[in-house]
Amino acid sequence: MKRLVYRSQPFGFGRAMLAGILLDSRRNNRRDEITGALICRHDLYLQLIEGHASEIDALYSRINVDDRHGEVRLLLTDTVSERLFPRWDMLDDEAPSLFWSPAEVADGAVESTAPVELTRIFARLSANTAARKEHSGYA
């Protein structure tokens, strides 16, 4: 199974735009057996996707040409035996404080974060959401 993490600059970020992205991704990811999480705020999308390599590659190709994403940058790709988000077609987490300030994001802090730390960020998100079972209806 393949895991991929990328970051992008939201284009036209707002609740309606985010709702559209989540609706599309949940429907398509369920069909393609992809799971993952999207951390989102006005200046950053940080997304982890996991599934069969061919499906992940196809999804990442679509994201690269999706006009709702600008400056798409691949941060991590790995082969894994276990999913971090096995029950989530696409978990969304609006984390306004996240780990970096807007200035740090603009200066490249996300790109300079070690792959192991990126994985830890999503592992913490997975652990935190496991306790919120009432939201598991999305998966």
- pLDDT value, residue 138: 47
Long-range contacts of 114-122 (CB under 8 A, 24+ apart): 115/5, 115/75, 115/76, 115/78, 118/5, 118/48, 118/75, 118/76, 119/3, 119/5, 119/76, 119/78, 119/84, 121/39, 121/46, 122/5, 122/37, 122/48, 122/84, 122/85
- pLDDT value, residue 134: 46
Which residue from 117, 90, 103 is spatially nearest to 43, judged by alpha carbons?
Answer: 103
- pLDDT value, residue 52: 97
For the cut 80, the answer to whether the pLDDT of residue 97 exceeds it is no
For the cut 60, the answer to whether the pLDDT of residue 108 exceeds it is yes
Structural domains in the chain plus CATH codes: 2-138 (3.30.70.100)
Q: Is 80 helix (H, G, I), strand (E, B) or coil?
A: coil
Q: Which of 44-53, 63-72, 100-109 has the highest mean pLDDT?
A: 44-53
Mean pLDDT of the chain: 85
